[in-house]
Structure 1
Amino acid sequence: MEFVIPLLALIGVIVVATVLNKKFPRVPLALFQILLGAMVSWLPFIPLTLEFEPEVFMVCLIAPLLFSDARVTSRKELWVYRKPILFMALGLVLITVIGLGYAIHMLIPSMPLAAAFALAAVLSPTDAVAVKSITQGLPLPSSLMPILEGESLLNDAAGIVSFKVALAVVLSGVFSVQAATFNFLIVSIGGILAGLICGFLFVKLRLSLRQNGFEEVNSLVAIQFITPFVIFIIAEELAVSGILAVVAAGIIHGIERDRLQQTSTKIQITSSTTWSVLSYLFNGFVFVLLGFLLPEVVHGLLMSQEISIMVVLGFTLLISVGLFLIRYIWVYVLHRNFAAIEGHETHGEADNVSRGRYAFLTATCGIHGTITLATAMSIPYALSNGTMFPYRNTILFISAGVILLSLIFATVVLPLALRHAAHHVKDEKSLLSIQEATQLILQRTIQLLHAESDQGHKRATFRVIRELEEQRRMMEEGKASRLSSSVLRKLQEIAREAEMKKLTEMIEQGEVSSQLMMHYPVISEPQELYTVRSNLRRIWFGYKMYWMKKKLKKLSSAQLPPKIASRTKKMTEFVEELHRVKGGLRQAAIQAIQQHMTPDNRYEAMFMIQYYARLQQATLSEEEEANFMEKVSEVRLLSIQLKRDLVQKLEESEQITPATRLKLLQNMNYEEMLLLDPA
């Protein structure tokens, strides 16, 4: 219980911090998490000291975080901005580890050089998640965020590999430039190869299971969930970088999702939701843990007397300034490689920044966070000979201080540095109305569904896309609220008369039985109400009819008394007969509506024709229809999730008000309720 209670408390803090961040969006989520984590550490029922096994901390926290980031990183942007990303993720990390390492050793001569390098490696990774939480709504140059995200992914791996090399030197006490360089290359290249091979094998395993009929969604997602942990352990057992292996495997899994298109919609939804929750908890956990451990770090520093608290505060400030200057100078010198990117076009005033301003913004966005603290926490308490790790408490304190300073500095400086561009953008960009936001969301959802449709769900995806296109078309023409019920009912009467006339002809010609004439009006009557309902109500009606058919089918297969069985058989034959002739009846209805179309009723007539055209699709068997409707349900749920994500992005970019966001989400919740509860 000594571990469970703090764990539950930290998870609760993550949720509370998120609520506060939504209430006060200008304060970064990470700062709320750190502050609340520190407050929780003072609660009387929470133990002050927690011991972490470094290897367990690495495999349980860092591995899934980097795998998740690599999995969702855009391969296209990685390729387009590959040159500046590599300059930042590899070149800058190397300069930082060497230059800052020697500077730290000069500041603290008693700290071994290898330990100073380890501290510099700890401070080299940046955190794109923290950057996003601070810069949302701010007009950064359009190329900057993709570069920061790519840098964050790759410099995490480069920084951690450098850290492990330096850590090995501290633990062994032996240092050689040639040996360290050779070890770095072997560990790095070996980690990448191990990740690519293992990642491919895991993808192949899941695809093979699906191809052999294994469609258990939870099991397939569970295999994906354990992938980073297994790959990290395998790579470490092979004495190569588990971190680089996990990043490579994450990219392989991203390619599987984007290009192979072999994953069903249901698996995509479950996988996306699972990783979204885990990434949220893991990222939040590290910042909350930082606040939670701050009192312990300060207490440990005071008790160990490694260095004076005031002196280490001064060193923390100097190291933070040094990190900023190294980053600024690096980007300033190499600015041509950031600005002149083939295929990149500027997108307004935010992109028209000077060389010095671009370097300043990039340096300010070099926020440290999750990986920095997680790596620092993985430092062992003792060396192999049993002595304490040199300056462990000092390293932890400086790491925590640099994280806090980078967060606070960016929070204060970025809005001030970008206030002119922000005012300019706000003057040009007005808030979207709920109609405009809905139309934009529909358009983007259609594009995403087109991109994510796989072979097994192509027909179902196209059906949902047609529904969304109909909604969008109605909104574009501005007639969604001007549909005349009286005109619709008149057209319905015309269509019904045409159907009855056609049915009479078929009876007279002996194509169908006469009993169909008596029952058809009763069966077709609900369709009149159906066409004037909203899209959500039509989905509701469709699901009711679908589940009613399933219940009738189940009833017909049950053991019934002879009299009831005979009636059921007659009803089944009647339904089959109706199913056979309804195509001709609907075609007659379409022709009648077309003949009565006028400029005054054109929109209502087109609405009715589209409705009958959808019903005119090729008929399916009961089993095929059940499978098809299940796939349609999955795609509709996916479309709702895509809409929610788009609403979140619109709010983060300050294109909609909180009230508009709430109304949009309420509509989506209602739509989801209808899909999940068809009874």
Structure 2
Amino acid sequence: METITIVLLLLLAVIVSGIASRMIPIPLPVPLFQIALGGLIGMVSGWKVELDPQIFFLLFLPPLLFLDGWRIPREELFKDGKTVVELALGLVILTVVGMGLFIHWMIPAMPLAVAFALAAVVSPTDPIAVSAIAQRVPIPKRMLHILEGESLLNDASGLVCLRFAIAAALTGTFSVYDAALNFLWVAFGGIAIGVGFTWAVARAKNWFSQRYGEDGGAQILVSLLIPFGSYLAAEHLHCSGILAAVAAGLTMGFVEVRGQIEANTRMRRNSVWDVIQFTLNGVIFVLLGEQLPAILANAADTVRLTGHHEPWWLGIYVLAISLGLAGLRFAWVWLSFQLTLFRAGERRKSPNWRIVGAMSFSGVRGAITLAGVLTIPLVMNDGSAFPARDLAIFLAMGVIITSLFVASIGLPWLLRGLEMPDEHGHTPEEDAARIAAAEAAIAAVERAQHSMADGRGDADLYVTSAARIMDLYRQRIEHLENDDDDHRDELLLMKAVERDLRLAALKAERTEIFRRVRRRELGSEAARKIVTELDLMEARYTA
């Protein structure tokens, strides 16, 4: 009963933190409110959640990494693939080595392997925290796509490095040769399992759906089980479950391109995954805050591991690590931009310092860092306590909170009024696709009209209805084909005006439906059906 109460309290805290973030006019990210609320719960209630590290890893990381891989724009990822790889792999390796040595030099009492583990766990960035910070200052699309791709890959690379560092701490030995071979097996084996598992499940699911019909609930449940299945299969074969979950998400994106599920199922599934993402990220930050009081209470004991007695030394260490991470990221981003300009033949051009600064401030640590640091084992292989575990957790939590505070102040300031290079988007390809889709729709309506009206006495009704639908598609084609540069701005303005008018009309329709329900002029079942239709139409114009 106590476990159920704790779970419900965590969920309630996630809801309350979202409400509080909207009530306060200061543009602070939601994770900060969740941490503060979790700390309040920890001080007032006195209970402390203790999860086995492996269970914590299994519960939180597979679905989050899977969803990131599933929803990331693959075209944008490949477009800026070199930049993403430079940030996600090169920067992670530099962070693990550089910050690991720096932390060990700064805190000699922390073993080198544990210092590398701490450096590995603070290397991944969290795009969800960045989006929360910049929700009032829109991030340029290309920058956001680079950050998403970086986060997707550096989650995997950073946590794989964490795995090797913990293994070195447990065994007391580390071989570069053995680690390299093991890394190849762990990495490529995990990717292969994630791809193969997802592809096999998708093929089997589609085969059953085509022959026996589609069950929307089962489709949603299968998508929820895929990340856990790929993760457990990879871990059973001593491969990277993290990379398996990421690969499963990317594969899911390619599988879904075939469009073999019903639209209603797809919308319901997206809603379910939105709730899961919101809940898991929120619970992780609430758990972070909930554990802060106990960690702060032991700060006096923790700081003694470093050879000092004053707790404020822990703050100095957090600040030093945060500054080191920021400096490394700034230097690497600048170098990455220089390489990009060099490859583009613009050797004399210098990177925009505001863009470099914005990319550097975007390196916010969040849920993945917390999930990773909490997986550090409690004991060594001989049963003794894992060295400096509490210190590593404290420093990682301090880095998370510091990066959130700094980014919440600096990132909006840097992004405000920032002029990014022109982003042409995919307007020609999108217009061509819309024209082709409209032409296919016209042909389908014509075929359906003849088939439905064949041999019926009221054939004129089908002809009239089909003509109305086809006229709408022909108007769309005409607008798209005649859309040149001179009329594009006018067309975009017209679309925006039409969108606002349609949204106003839908809002009025929904208000009238609810009014009739309150007056008992309309039944609840009929009202639910009409409101669902209106919601779907509104989703079309707000997507």
TM-score of the pair, normalised by structure 2: 0.78
1:397 corresponds to 2:251: no
Q: 1:364 and 1:403 mapped to 2: Cα distance? A: 13
Other-structure match for 2:410: 413
Other-structure match for 2:381: 384
- With over 3 angstroms needed to count, the CA separation of the structure-2 counterparts of 1:450 and 1:120, relative to structure 1, is same
1:3 corresponds to 2:3: yes
Question: Does the Cα contact within 8 Å between 2:137 and 2:412 map onto a contact in 1?
Answer: yes
Q: 1:158 and 1:30 mapped to 2: Cα distance? A: 24
**CA displacement at 1:75 relative to structure 2:** 0.7
- With over 3 angstroms needed to count, the CA separation of the structure-2 counterparts of 1:360 and 1:462, relative to structure 1, is farther
Larger C-alpha radius of gyration, 1 or 2? Answer: 1
| 388-397 vs 304-313, greater mean Cα deviation | 304-313
- With over 3 angstroms needed to count, the CA separation of the structure-2 counterparts of 1:136 and 1:154, relative to structure 1, is same
Give, as a single letter, the amino acid of the residue that structure 2 aligns with 1:321. Answer: L
Question: Does the Cα contact within 8 Å between 1:81 and 1:341 map onto a contact in 2?
Answer: no
Q: Which has the higher contact order (CA 8 A, sep 6+)?
A: 2
Q: 2:301 and 2:435 mapped to 1: Cα distance? A: 58
Other-structure match for 2:538: none
**CA displacement at 1:306 relative to structure 2:** 2.9
Other-structure match for 1:327: 329
**CA displacement at 1:300 relative to structure 2:** 3.6
Aligned ranges for residues 263-412 of structure 1 at < 5 Å?
263-303=261-301, 305-307=304-306, 308=309, 309-338=311-340, 354-412=351-409
Aligned ranges for residues 404-553 of structure 1 at < 5 Å?
404-421=401-418
Give, as a single letter, the amino acid of the residue that structure 1 aligns with 2:332. Answer: W
Q: 2:501 and 2:367 mapped to 1: Cα distance? A: 33
Cα-to-partner distance string for 1:100-150 (whole Å, 9 max, x where unaligned): 000000011121111000000000000001111112343545432111110
Question: Does the Cα contact within 8 Å between 1:586 and 1:616 map onto a contact in 2?
Answer: no
1:30 corresponds to 2:31: yes
Residue 456 of structure 2 is aligned with which of 566, 572, 580?
A: 580
Aligned ranges for residues 70-149 of structure 1 at < 5 Å?
70-138=69-137, 140-149=139-148
Other-structure match for 1:511: none
Other-structure match for 1:498: none
- With over 3 angstroms needed to count, the CA separation of the structure-2 counterparts of 1:674 and 1:96, relative to structure 1, is same
Query: Gaps (5+ residues) in structure 2?
Result: 421-426, 446-451, 472-495, 514-527, 535-543
Give, as a single letter, the amino acid of the residue that structure 1 aligns with 2:324. Answer: G
Q: 1:675 and 1:447 mapped to 2: Cα distance? A: 31
Other-structure match for 1:591: none
Q: 2:443 and 2:339 mapped to 1: Cα distance? A: 42
Count of aligned pairs between the two proteins: 471
Q: 1:118 and 1:451 mapped to 2: Cα distance? A: 53
Q: 2:355 and 2:395 mapped to 1: Cα distance? A: 27
* 2:43 alignment partner, SS class: coil
Aligned ranges for residues 646-657 of structure 1 at < 5 Å?
none
Give, as a single letter, the amino acid of the residue that structure 1 aligns with 2:129. Answer: A
Question: Does the Cα contact within 8 Å between 1:34 and 1:287 map onto a contact in 2?
Answer: yes
1:15 corresponds to 2:12: no
Aligned-pair identity (%): 33
Cα-to-partner distance string for 1:261-290 (whole Å, 9 max, x where unaligned): 212112211221111110110111111111
Question: Does the Cα contact within 8 Å between 1:583 and 1:616 map onto a contact in 2?
Answer: no
Q: 1:27 and 1:365 mapped to 2: Cα distance? A: 14
Question: Does the Cα contact within 8 Å between 2:334 and 2:351 map onto a contact in 1?
Answer: no
Aligned ranges for residues 584-599 of structure 1 at < 5 Å?
584=460
- With over 3 angstroms needed to count, the CA separation of the structure-2 counterparts of 1:266 and 1:311, relative to structure 1, is same
Q: 2:213 and 2:461 mapped to 1: Cα distance? A: 42
- With over 3 angstroms needed to count, the CA separation of the structure-2 counterparts of 1:212 and 1:180, relative to structure 1, is same
- With over 3 angstroms needed to count, the CA separation of the structure-2 counterparts of 1:461 and 1:233, relative to structure 1, is farther
* 2:44 alignment partner, SS class: coil
* 1:384 alignment partner, SS class: coil
Other-structure match for 2:483: none
- With over 3 angstroms needed to count, the CA separation of the structure-2 counterparts of 1:254 and 1:612, relative to structure 1, is closer
Cα-to-partner distance string for 1:599-647 (whole Å, 9 max, x where unaligned): xxxxxxxxxxx75734999xxxxxxxxxxxxxxxxxxxxxxxxxxxxxx
**CA displacement at 1:20 relative to structure 2:** 2.3
Question: Does the Cα contact within 8 Å between 1:191 and 1:241 map onto a contact in 2?
Answer: yes
Other-structure match for 2:467: 613
Give, as a single letter, the amino acid of the residue that structure 2 aligns with 1:399. Answer: A
Q: 1:269 and 1:389 mapped to 2: Cα distance? A: 46
Q: 1:460 and 1:123 mapped to 2: Cα distance? A: 54
Q: 1:462 and 1:353 mapped to 2: Cα distance? A: 54
Question: Does the Cα contact within 8 Å between 2:38 and 2:290 map onto a contact in 1?
Answer: yes
Cα-to-partner distance string for 1:399-420 (whole Å, 9 max, x where unaligned): 1110111111011112223344
Other-structure match for 1:221: 220
- With over 3 angstroms needed to count, the CA separation of the structure-2 counterparts of 1:112 and 1:25, relative to structure 1, is same
- With over 3 angstroms needed to count, the CA separation of the structure-2 counterparts of 1:662 and 1:341, relative to structure 1, is farther
**CA displacement at 1:208 relative to structure 2:** 1.4
Q: 2:470 and 2:436 mapped to 1: Cα distance? A: 27
Q: 1:661 and 1:584 mapped to 2: Cα distance? A: 30
- With over 3 angstroms needed to count, the CA separation of the structure-2 counterparts of 1:108 and 1:665, relative to structure 1, is farther
Give, as a single letter, the amino acid of the residue that structure 2 aligns with 1:332. Answer: W
Give, as a single letter, the amino acid of the residue that structure 1 aligns with 2:389. Answer: R
Give, as a single letter, the amino acid of the residue that structure 2 aligns with 1:319. Answer: I
* 1:240 alignment partner, SS class: coil
Question: Does the Cα contact within 8 Å between 2:357 and 2:414 map onto a contact in 1?
Answer: no
RMSD over equivalenced CA pairs, Å: 3.6
**CA displacement at 1:321 relative to structure 2:** 0.1
**CA displacement at 1:2 relative to structure 2:** 2.6
Give, as a single letter, the amino acid of the residue that structure 1 aligns with 2:20. Answer: L
**CA displacement at 1:660 relative to structure 2:** 10
- With over 3 angstroms needed to count, the CA separation of the structure-2 counterparts of 1:664 and 1:98, relative to structure 1, is farther
Cα-to-partner distance string for 1:30-83 (whole Å, 9 max, x where unaligned): 111111111122233xx4322111111111101111001111111101100100
Question: Does the Cα contact within 8 Å between 2:65 and 2:152 map onto a contact in 1?
Answer: yes
Q: 1:332 and 1:582 mapped to 2: Cα distance? A: 71
Other-structure match for 2:530: 674
Other-structure match for 1:515: none
